[in-house]
Amino acid sequence: MSVQASGEAVPAPPGAVPAGLRGALRIADRVVAKLASQAAREALRDGPEADRVPENRRQPRANVTVRKSPRHGGTLPPLGEARVRISVELGYPSDVGAQCGAVRRQVAERVRELAGMDVPQVSVTVERLHSAQTRRADEVRVR
């Protein structure tokens, strides 16, 4: 049965395939990893320390494990459960905990919104801190 814009229930046409037998949708781990990486970039892009990380070093890397969700009684199940591990590089000095929290929230929200998956865990690893001193050390001096 479907519902019209007026709110009236319309019976399914004869011979229609029941909803449970129509097929399935599976979102690959690598697709969810790309969504998570983009979400982390969004979270870090607006931070006050974003200019301290060199442009070629700003790409967060994500590793995702996706599990199929068990069916919930009477409600449609989400498309699965994604556990995300993401590695970032941050500017220093900064509030590292606040930045990691922003990444964690943004990744969970965007994956839930775009992929329709529950995100019970987002682990953030800081691979490197960039300060003004280390940025100057990376530059090559030309005479």
For the cut 90, the answer to whether the pLDDT of residue 32 exceeds it is yes
User: Is 82 part of any domain?
Assistant: yes
Residue 34 belongs to a domain: yes
CB 89 within 8 A of CB 130: yes
Contact 103/60 with Cβ under 8 angstroms? yes
Average pLDDT over residues 118-139: 80
Question: Residue 143 domain-assigned?
Answer: no
18 in a structural domain: no
Instruction: Find the domain containing 31 and state its range.
Output: 24-69+78-138
| Closest to 106 in 3D by CA, of 29, 45, 27, 26 | 45
Residue-level pLDDT at 74: 46
Task: Give domain status of residue 49, yes or no.
Answer: yes
In one-letter notation, the amino acid at residue 23 is: G
**What is the model's pLDDT at position 20?**
67
CATH number assigned to the domain comprising residue 128: 3.30.300
Top pLDDT among 64 and 51 is at 64
Domain-located, residue 7: no
93 upstream amide cis, omega within 30 of 0: yes
Instruction: Give a yes or no: residue 98 inside a domain.
Output: yes
Map residue 73 onto helix, strand or coil: coil
What's residue 48's pLDDT?
65
pLDDT at 76 over 50: no
pLDDT at position 56 is 67
Query: Which pLDDT score, from 0 to 100, does residue 35 have?
Result: 96
* Average pLDDT across the chain, whole number: 80
Does any domain span residue 84? yes
The residue with greater pLDDT, 134 or 92, is 92
Looking at the structure of the chain, the number of domains it has is 1
